[in-house]
Structure 1
Amino acid sequence: MNNDEMVLAMPADRLERAVKGLKALKETGLAYPIGHFEPGMDVTPLFEAWYPVQDK
């Protein structure tokens, strides 16, 4: 296994839920491959997409 690989195991009855969750994450802008964050980056726009402010 390389440093950029991951193995995932789950019960078969949870596969459909996992795929739906991954598709929902992609709609918010989080998709594989996941980008990297660096110190000093302004991640506000990305986090606002993932976690909308409730009290606007």
Structure 2
Amino acid sequence: GNIESIELGVTQATLDVCDKPTPETLYDAKFSLQHCVSVAILDGQVGFDAFESDAR
């Protein structure tokens, strides 16, 4: 099945820096909580290759 939503417990400071649901650059992807969690779910880990341009 499809994942409809995910809830994370994070601090406000984390949201201030990492709440980037649609990162426009590779730099933004590195600091996107949404991107990193999605990669972790799909790939089982988040490595450097998750931030290559063709990975987005």
TM-score if structure 2 supplies the norm length?
0.31
Between Structure 1 and Structure 2, which shows a larger proportion of helix residues?
2
Which protein shows a greater Rg? 1
User: RCO (CA 8 Å, sep 6+): is it higher in 1 or 2?
Assistant: 1
